[in-house]
Amino acid sequence: MTQQHSIAQRVAPEFQPLAEAVVTILQQLPGYGRDQQDIEAAANEVLAEVQQEQPEPGQLRRGVAMLKGFLFPIAKEAATEEARQLAQQGLDHISAAIGSVL
């Protein structure tokens, strides 16, 4: 929660849902089972951008697309139901959040 709180202080209100969704994805990282480094890198890229004074929409779209690209196969093909559900939740949250700001 500390990471989420410290990020929330540096993010404009309209980007809060996206930042929260990405932090949740990072917190659930061990549950995905694969592509953890790639997911973490994409998530950190999105978080870095939303903390800018004026986030660049193109950079956000690119980072979110990368994140979704890593989560989608896990949501469809992961070895465990838990990993599939976590990935699907991550996709749902990030899709809803990005839709509200871009």
pLDDT tens-place values along the chain, 102 residues long:
455 556 667 888 899 999 999 999 999 999 998 889 999 999 999 999 999 989 999 999 999 999 999 999 999 999 899 999 999 999 999 999 988 787
3-state secondary structure at position 48 = helix
Global pTM value = 0.87
Provide the residue range defining the domain that includes 89: 2-101
Which pLDDT score is estimated for 1?
46
Strand positions, DSSP E, 1-102: none
- Classify burial at 32, counting beta carbons within 10 Å of its beta carbon; exposed 0-12, middle 13-18, buried 19 or more: buried
Distance of alpha carbon 52 from alpha carbon 68, whole angstroms? 21
Domain count for the chain, please give it: 1
DSSP 8-class letter at 79 = S
Give the other-Cβ count within 10 Å of 43's Cβ. Answer: 25
